[in-house]
Amino acid sequence: MQQFEFISNNEDETGQFAKKLAGRLHEGDVIALEGDLGAGKTAFTKGIASGLGVTRNVNSPTFTIIKEYQGILPLYHMDVYRVSDAGEDLGFEEYLEGEGVTVIEWAHLIKDQLPEHLLTIYIFRIGETSRRLVLEPRGERYVSLCKEIVS
């Protein structure tokens, strides 16, 4: 599987990279975010939200599981960390097949419910504020997207 890498020196750079990605996202796109607690998954999502023109404050939907934001496209922000039963039907498909962009933190916990084509981004802490982002596209659209944003 093809991978792409981006090194961010601080949260602002991570946000700008996410904003750049957001500018190329379309209805129905799915971004799966993986990383340890505090790695920057929600910070990355804030960058995507900014790029989609979301004006509301974006925070982690840890206890609500899903938050919706309106922008140029709707943003469906999911945090499935507390989903206890991966097989439980929580209506994810409504969002995954919806009219917006879906960002899922801890996506591996619901891997059987994810679409075949998506972009997984692994966020690794490599310093106090620096991060290594490894992008793993599944599907030609996402491969092309990665080639556009990682230069």
Q: What is the pLDDT of residue 86?
A: 54
Q: Is the pLDDT of residue 105 over 90?
A: yes
Token pair 């891997």 in the structure block, residue: 111
How would you classify the pairing of strands 101-105 and 118-125?
A: unpaired
The secondary structure element, H or E, covering residue 140 is: helix 140-149
Count of domains in the chain? 1
Q: What is the pLDDT of residue 100?
A: 95
Per-residue pLDDT band for 16 (boundaries 50, 70, 90) equals very high
Mean pLDDT computed over every residue of the chain: 91
Q: Is the pLDDT of residue 87 over 80?
A: no
Question: Does the reported pTM lie above 0.75?
Answer: yes
**Can you give the residue range of the structural domain that contains 100?**
4-149
Q: Is the pLDDT of residue 15 over 80?
A: yes
The secondary structure element, H or E, covering residue 101 is: strand 101-105
Instruction: CATH number of the domain at 56, please.
Output: 3.40.50.300
**Counting Cβ atoms within 10 Å, is residue 40 exposed (0-12), middle (13-18) or buried (19+)?**
buried
Q: What is the pLDDT of residues 17-43, one digit of tens each?
A: 999 999 999 999 999 999 999 899 999
